[in-house]
Amino acid sequence: HEIEKEGDNTYYFDRSGKVFEHVLNYLKERKTPLDLSFQERRQLLDDANFFELFGLAGELDPTVVPVQVGTRQPACLLKRDDVL
pLDDT band at 44 (very low <50, low <70, confident <90, very high): very high
Q: Which residues pair with 67 in a beta bridge?
A: 74
3-class DSSP state of 57: helix
Given this model, what pLDDT does residue 13 score? Answer: 78
Taking CA 51 as the corner, what is the angle to CA 46 and CA 53, rounded to the nearest 5 degrees? 85
Mean pLDDT over 39-51 rounds to 89
The model's pTM: 0.64
Query: Distances from the Cα of 14 to the Cαs of 7, 36, 56, in angstroms?
Result: 16, 21, 20
- Residue 50 makes CB contacts below 8 A (sequence gap 6+) with 15
Nearest partner of 32 among 7, 68, 62, judged by Cα: 62
Given this model, what pLDDT does residue 63 score? Answer: 67
Given this model, what pLDDT does residue 28 score? Answer: 92
